[in-house]
Structure formats: structure tokens, C-alpha cells
Amino acid sequence: MKLAVVILAAGQGKRMKSDLPKVLQPLAGQPLLGHVVSRARQLEPTSIHVVYGHGGERVREALAGESLQWALQAEQLGTGHALMQAMPRIGDDELVLVLYGDVPLIDPETLKRLIASTGPTAMALLTVMLDDPQGYGRIVRNTRGVIQKIVEQKDASRAQLRIREGNSGIMAAPAGLLRRWLGKLKNANAQGEYYLTDVIAMAVKDKIKVVPLLAARLAEVLGVNDKLQLAELEALHRAERARELMLAGATLADPARLDVRGRVTVGRDVFIDANVLFEGEVSLGDRVRVGPNVVLRNVRIGADSVVHPNSILEQSEVGPGCLIGPYARLRPGTRLGREVHIGNFVELKKAVIDDGSKANHLTYLGDATVGKGVNVGAGTITCNYDGVNKSQTVIEDGAFIGSGNMLVAPIRIGKEASTGAGSTLTRDAPDGQLTVARSKQLSIAGWKRPTRKTKA
């Protein structure tokens, strides 16, 4: 059967006390709804439908880059009513999987097992065992352990309130059956809403098998209603990502102090120190070492490279055996060859630096191409911007750039050229020669510093 995923995301989230719609609250740098969509995509569905309401166009704009089908729930009349809004665009021959925009940590492997339990005469329901089931609908079974219905907290009897098996809300069912049941929903309950959970009793009455699947981990089914719960899920997400990295072979100095806001792949014997932040796509080669307080954003780092503390690398490629930092910044478009040294308080932007070159101190190289075996002295700056245009600096193989140089682009420093310390170069420096560009040093005899007049 073709799979249609429906994500219910129309809730207002009053307890968030925020102008931002609940499903757009950030978890690991991404909206809650974005996490759910990403996990749904791993199931390779035919379509993903998002039922939205509060936040309206803001929700749609936030996920404008996704291929989604949108259904508006103009009035908040319950989960059953919400699902009804998406059903007109789903064929009777499809299988419907219902997810929630504020339940972001559901495991795709769990969903695959849930889907596998569903068929033309069977639906599947994800349940969870809870030490404290407060707020959850209760799974009511008969004496043989077969599910009979779900009772919401506000409608439950005292005996039912003692049931520890709770409803996650996540279910899968054939669309044709689901459509029929949704058409029979009533709102005669404590909240005056059309409960999606009522379809369970209808399935039982129609002799459709209800297959329960118990969630392996509570974190999978936890929703978000306030900022406290959001912080709790953030901690669970961190732990989940840290666990994945350690199982992949990385050594973490402190798994509790690692933030992964994207996808990280690691080679063998990688070491990651405390308070490291990963964003986007990050790849770390074998034996890479990442120091504390480092930010890596959309970066590839080659084997045996070291990123020293307090460095920031974004949209850059680092070759094998490089040394970066401490306090270095690699901005977008930077590419480093093998065994390049970029030291403390060095900033690179759209800089391509070839094998064995070094810029170890207090330097800015922007819009620059640097050859092999180049030494860039402390305090050197490529003056690449005239207020309108960005111009290129080219430094050829084996050049030696003296300390405190101002290289006014566009400019070329030749192969094996040297430049004198304190030079401001506005013209190309030829191959193999020393180029010095300093103003004449003068000492003025008899000159005195200005002094302040004594107040009367």
C-alpha cells in the first residue's frame, strides 16, 4: 500500500507563552515540526500532509522548502477533526500514518515496525508504559489483553485512571476504514471535541484487528507543551546524538556537554572535547581532535587534523594533518590543503591555502589564494574590499610574507618572493626577490609632545 503521512500541527501551545507557534519552537536549532517531517521522510512516503491552524502562514513559511501538502484546521475541534481536514487528498487505497508536530523524537525504525503491523483488516497503535500516566489517554484492554478502546484522561473512571499504559496518539490505518470511522465521530465528551482515539473502539466493533506496539523508549513519544518540556527534550536529543557518536567510535570528553544540530559523521579514534557545537553537515576524518568550546558548521575535516579550543569553522574544508586555532575563525568558502597551520586570532574568508602553508598569528586572509609552503607573518592583512568590490590576492608557492604587511588587492606575490616587515604593498611583488614598501623613517629633533594647559 502507498503510504500517506499526516502530521497534526494545528495546536496553539498557550503554555509556551510565546508569539511563536508551538510547532515552530526550536529543538537543536530546528523547528519541532521540522524534526517530525525529517523523520517522516525516512519512511519514503508517497505524500506528507501537515494539518496547521495557529500560526497559519508562519508555519507554512518556515517549511517552505519542503515538499508538503497543507490542510488548514480553521477551528480547533479535536484530533479527529484535524485528521478529517487532510483526508480529502488521500485515496482509499493508501495507508495513513498519523504523527504529531510536537512529538519530535519518534524513531523511524519504530514507525517502520508500526506500519508493518498494518494491513487491509488491521490497524496499529503505538502505546507507552508510564510511571505517571497523568495527561495521557489510557489503553483499555479486555481480560485477554486485547485492546478495546482508548479513554481520555478527563473521561476516565477511577479504575481506568490507574492504567499505566498510555496512548501516544501515533497510529497507522487503511485510509478507507479511517475515513469511514472519522465520519462517525461524535463530540459527546468532557472537552466537546472529536477525538481521533474513538476510532479504536469503532475498529474493534468492526472486527478490525488493533495491533499494539509498545514504544521502546519514553523519549520517542514525549510531546512539548511548555518551555520546561522543551528543555527536557533538548537534553534527550543531546543524549541521543551523543550516544550515536560514541557508538560510531568517537570519544566524548563529556557526552552531556555536546550539541548536535545537524548530521555528524566520524572516522576512527575521533576525540571531541566539552562544549562543542555541531551544526548542519559535519564530517570528521580518522583521528581528528576537536578542542573545547569549538563551533563547527557545515565543515569537512581531514584525518589527523586538530582544532584547538575556541575556534569557529563554517562552510569550510580542512585537509588532513592541519592545525587550527586556538581562537581561529574559518568563514565560508575556505579550503585548506594538507598540513596547513592556522593559528590564534587568524581569520580566513574564501581563502584557498595549499599544502604546508602557515598563518600562525593575528592575520586576516580574505579572497585569497595561497600556494604551497607559504609563511604569512603575524599581523598581515589582505585589503580585499574597497567598499564596493572584493578583489583577489594571490600568493605563490614558497613566498615569505613579513609581519605587519598590508596586501592591497588585487595583487600577486610571486613564487619564492619575500616581503619586508611593515610593508604596504599596492603592486605585484616579483618572483624570488625581496620587496619592501615602507615610508621613510624620520626622527625629528626638538619635537615635543603637546601638553595640557594647567587650569587656573
C-alpha cell at 220: 520517542
399 pLDDT above the threshold of 90? yes
pTM of the model: 0.87
Model pLDDT for residues 150-188, shown as the tens digit of each residue? 998 889 999 999 999 999 999 999 999 999 999 999 998
Whole-number average pLDDT of the chain: 95
DSSP string, 240-307: HHHHHHHHTT-EES-GGGEEEEEEEEE-TT-EE-SSEEEEEEEEE-TT-EE-TT-EEEEEEE-TT-EE
pLDDT of residue 142: 92
Model pLDDT for residues 119-139, shown as the tens digit of each residue? 999 999 999 999 998 889 999
110 pLDDT above the threshold of 80? yes
Model pLDDT for residues 310-330, shown as the tens digit of each residue? 999 999 999 999 999 999 999
Q: Is 361 a catalytic residue?
A: yes
Instruction: State the pLDDT confidence band at 436, using cuts at 50, 70 and 90.
Output: very high
Residue 278 to residue 263: CA distance in whole angstroms: 8
Question: Is the separation of the CB atoms in 399 and 371 below 8 Å?
Answer: yes
Average pLDDT over residues 89-103: 97
456 pLDDT above the threshold of 70? no
Give how far Cα 210 sits from Cα of 174, 206, 207, Å. 12, 11, 9
Q: Which residues does residue 300 pair with via DSSP β-bridges, in sequence order?
A: 283, 317
Question: Is the separation of the CB atoms in 344 and 327 below 8 Å?
Answer: yes
Instruction: State the pLDDT confidence band at 1, using cuts at 50, 70 and 90.
Output: confident
Question: Is the separation of the CB atoms in 294 and 309 below 8 Å?
Answer: yes
Looking at 54, 81, 237, 361, which residue is catalytic?
361
Which value, to the nearest 10 degrees, does the dihedral of the CA atoms of residues 21, 23, 25, 29 take? -140
Secondary structure of 190-249 as H, E, C letters: CCCCCCHHHHHHHHHHCCCEEEEEECCCHHHHCCCCCHHHHHHHHHHHHHHHHHHHHHCC
- Give the side-chain half-sphere CA count within 13 A for 257: 11
Average pLDDT over residues 353-375: 98
Question: Is the separation of the CB atoms in 41 and 48 below 8 Å?
Answer: yes
**Backbone CA torsion sign across 7, 8, 10, 14:** negative
Model pLDDT for residues 185-244, shown as the tens digit of each residue? 999 888 889 999 999 999 999 999 999 999 999 999 999 999 999 999 999 999 999 999
435 pLDDT above the threshold of 80? yes
DSSP string, 413-431: E-TT-EE-TT-EE-SPBPT
- 383, burial (CB in 10 Å: exposed 0-12, middle 13-18, buried 19+): middle
SS3 (DSSP) at 353: strand
Instruction: State the pLDDT confidence band at 451, using cuts at 50, 70 and 90.
Output: confident
Percent with pLDDT over 70 in the chain? 100
Residue 69 to residue 88: CA distance in whole angstroms: 11
- 228, burial (CB in 10 Å: exposed 0-12, middle 13-18, buried 19+): exposed
350 pLDDT above the threshold of 80? yes
pLDDT of residue 72: 95
pLDDT of residue 438: 92
Q: Which domains does the chain have, with CATH numbers?
A: 2-221 (3.90.550.10), 227-435 (2.160.10.10)
Residue 123 to residue 117: CA distance in whole angstroms: 7
262 pLDDT above the threshold of 90? yes
pLDDT of residue 282: 98
pLDDT of residue 453: 83
- Lowest mean pLDDT, pick from 51-55, 256-260, 388-392, 396-400: 51-55
54 pLDDT above the threshold of 90? no
* Residue showing cell 508555519: 59
Vertex 309 angle, CA 305 and 310, to 5°: 120
408 pLDDT above the threshold of 80? yes
